[in-house]
Structure 1
Amino acid sequence: MNLDEHMVMERIKNDLLDSFDEELEMELGKNFSAEQAADGVDNDDNSKRQLERRTYFKELFRLQTELVKLQEWVADTGHKVVVIFEGRDAAGKGGVIKRITQRLNPRICRIAALPAPNERERTQWYFQRYVSHLPAAGEIVLFDRSWYNRAGVERVMGFCSDEEYEEFFNSVPDFERMLTRSGIQVIKYWFSISDKEQYSRFLSRMHDPLKQWKLSPMDLESRRRWEQYTKAKEVMLARTHIDEAPWWVVEAVNKKKARLNCISHLLSQIPYEEVQRPLLALPDRENHADYVREPVPKEMFIPELY
């Protein structure tokens, strides 16, 4: 087995463990302790990984509890929040978005992940298709990529002209200032990974049948144009880092640390407080003597294979 093959196998193993963690998070929720998470790992796992998983679960559940409090405060006060997630392909944006929304109400906290513009959208004002996804009062919108596509992939891949590129930089500071003046809080994150780490993640996706769908021809081309993307990122951060909507860089080589650090920072950016809710009580079920439950035909039930 050569070095690349060994790297791929190790990466797939670690990704499978991450997926296992993810399933435990979803299945067991708050009744699940960090110690149980660490105990669930394979026997050949070392103590350092167990400690890291124990810490990760403990902090993740604590931060997700705070996110629920934040959600309640946003809904109660009518606050409006836009959170932008940008970064290279495979930088981990989707992973942190998943952890943020995992236990929240999708009617309050929703994801905007827009596809490439269609023919009609390409003739519109550039920001027009994003405006319809902005939050109303009491909402949080997480943009999994955003209007900054023009400063990144569109610039590098030649999908916009030099004039459109310059117009974007002339417009975006005013656009974001307009949003903040209208009461929308704009928070922007750039997920930073190394050349080596992206290479490893791409190799893992190429060899993992469950993740091959994540790789597109555009992703592979972005790998070849690493340096062009770096330059585009540097220009973008320099020209759109404004007081009203500054950029925040997340060191994302370690996925789990990046998730915890980003969620913790996001919570620190919003002045939320715990909202006191009245205690709920289940009402007694009504019973009527004339009620008869009709049987469901057996052919309507799905086969019980498990």
Structure 2
Amino acid sequence: MNQTEKQRRFHADIIDSYDEEFEMEVDDRFLDGESTFSEEERVLRKTYFRELFRLQGELVKLQDWVVNKGHRLVVLFEGRDAAGKGGAIKRITQRLNPRVCRVAALPAPNNRERTQWYFQRYVTHLPAAGEIVLFDRSWYNRAGVERVMNFCTDEEYEEFFRSVPEFEKMLVRSGIQIVKYWFSITDDEQEVRFEARIEDPLKQWKLSPMDLESRRRWEAYTAAKEVMLQRTHIPEAPWWVVQAVDKKRARLNCIHHLLSQVPYHEIEHQPIELPDRVFNPDYLRQPVPDEMYVPEIY
């Protein structure tokens, strides 16, 4: 392969990775080959992607710093159903090493877990040195969905508020940094997003019976959220509210803020040189049977 062809394929590979971003934007519709976006909307989208790629580059630097310094970082994402937590998490992790930055999205507790210390099942997911853990919902389930849906008793609810500040202070004293985000959307915006999930076959799986019930109990969730923020906003682990009605702005603002919370800097790396390949004259490549190949439909 000559240098020109190598360069062309190198650039094609980079563009292909960028295309993943565009594929994730399911709401982009094209009719008869013409974009439905106005010129202003196209400019805004270019700005969004340019800033997203820049911030993701900074996240890679943060990742290198976390590994180099043995830092331990926990980021909690809370908010109503369809608030955009998952989309923000996806953009944060997209360019990062899953061995360094992982997502913890725990299902409902099983019968055994219900009899454990409440925080026990979350503790096993906490980071070791050089790791980042993003909790897509966290121990604050007790202050939100469990309270609203009556999945916990009043005594368990009050015990949570007595315990959680001490639990988080203990984690911080041990060297774990905690950043807590609440994604805030309006009543109208949640309704629109739920309706979009109902209509879009690619998104219907996101809508559960619990989501529908949470819609009916909007005011109860609001009251629970207000109590939660008031009683668990501590200096060691404060809450940060992300205005999330505009998904793209929310993602950029959240990533930008997260970067500002960690005193990272670029880590110097030794230049990488690709070693020469070893050729063995005795090696003979064996043919692969035709029936083993995946049919090339496309």
- Fold equivalence (TM over 0.5): yes
> Which residue is equivalent to 1:290?
282
Partner of 1:27: 16
CA distance in 2, matches of 1:62, 1:42: 28
What is the CA–CA distance in structure 1 between the aligned matches of 2:255 and 2:135, rounded to whole Å?
15
- CA distance 1:174–1:42, change in 2 (3 Å): farther
Match among 224, 239, 249 for residue 247 of structure 1: 239
- 1:94 maps to a residue whose letter is G
Aligned-residue CA RMSD (Å): 2.0
After the TM superposition, which residues 155-234 of structure 1 pair with which residues of structure 2 at under 5 Å, given as runs? 155-234=147-226
Give the partner amino acid of 1:178: M
What is residue 133 of structure 2 aligned with on the other side?
Answer: 141
CA offsets 1:200-222 (integer angstroms, 9 cap, x no match): 00000011111000000000000
Distance 2:101 2:230 in 1: 29
Name the residue aligned to 1:281: 273
Tell me the SS of whatever aligns to 1:277: coil
- Report the secondary structure of 1:185's partner residue: strand
**Counterpart check, 1:111 vs 2:100:** no
DSSP 3-state at the match of 2:111: coil
Give me the TM-score of the superposition, normalised by structure 2.
Answer: 0.90
Which residue of structure 1 lines up, in the alignment, with residue 55 of structure 2? 63
SS in 1 for 2:197: helix
Inter-partner Cα distance in structure 2 for 1:26 and 1:252: 29
CA distance in 1, matches of 2:190, 2:287: 56
Q: CA deviation at 1:163?
A: 0.2
Question: What does the per-residue CA deviation read over 1:257-278, in whole Å, with 9 as the maximum and x for residues that have no partner?
Answer: 0000000000000000100000
CA distance in 2 between counterparts of 1:305 and 1:59 reads 36
Whichever residue aligns with residue 130 of structure 1, its letter is Y
Shift of 1:26: 8.3
Structure 1 CA distance for aligned equivalents of residues 151 and 35 of structure 2: 50
Structure 1 position 301, deviation (Å): 1.0
- Aligned pair count reads 277
Matches of 2:34 and 2:133, distance apart in 1: 38
Q: Percent identity?
A: 71
Partner of 1:263 in structure 2? 255
CA distance in 2, matches of 1:54, 1:188: 29
Amino acid at match of 1:208: D
Q: Cα distance, 1:43 vs. partner?
A: 3.6
Residue of structure 2 equivalent to 1:45 = 37
What's the secondary structure of 2:76's corresponding residue?
strand
Give distance in 1, aligned partners of 2:40 and 2:77: 30
Q: List structure 1 segments (4+ residues) > 6 angstroms apart after TM superposition.
A: none
- The DSSP-based 3-state class of the residue aligned with 2:240 is strand
Instruction: Flag structure 2 segments of 5+ consecutive residues without an equivalent.
Output: 1-13, 22-27
Question: Which letter maps to 1:27?
Answer: D
Residue 248 of structure 1 aligns to a residue whose secondary structure is strand
